[in-house]
Amino acid sequence: MVFTKETAKISGQKGGKVHSSVAEKLGPLETVTDAKRWLGLIGLWGCQGRFGSGSIASAANRSVEVWLKALEADHTRELIMLRNRVKELEKQLKKSRVAY
């Protein structure tokens, strides 16, 4: 995850650097569980007014949504590859049964 100047505003820092406590609280964004944690914190911080404006909270929320869509696309590609592989193996199995 790359932090931008927009997300840096959460911590009140300038120059595109995120305060370490914000980064620690968010943690990595690598799994669906991570995304749920991020969304929970973004929602909580938004309700507490820690973003200064709703547009920053919306942008942070949107970044998680986009990340989830990318993950879904990766999983869809993997699923298609697995389905194709199963079809190939089923054909091979059918041919081997006919041969005997």
Residue 49 backbone phi and psi in degrees, to 5 = 75, 20
Those residues whose C-beta lies under 8 Å from the C-beta of residue 47, and which sit 6 or more positions away, are none
Give the helix/strand (H/E) hosting 74.
Answer: helix 54-99
**Burial classification of residue 94, based on how many CB atoms lie within 10 Å of its CB (0-12 exposed, 13-18 middle, 19 or more buried):** exposed
Here the tokens at position 11 are: 């911590």
Average pLDDT score, the chain: 83
* Arithmetic mean of pLDDT, 72-89: 97
Q: How confident is the model at residue 9 (pLDDT cuts 50, 70, 90)?
A: low
Q: What share of the chain in percent tops pLDDT 90?
A: 51
Decide if pLDDT at 6 tops 50.
Answer: yes
Predicted TM-score (pTM) of this structure? 0.66
26-69: pLDDT as tens digits: 899 999 999 999 999 999 998 888 877 788 889 889 999 999 99
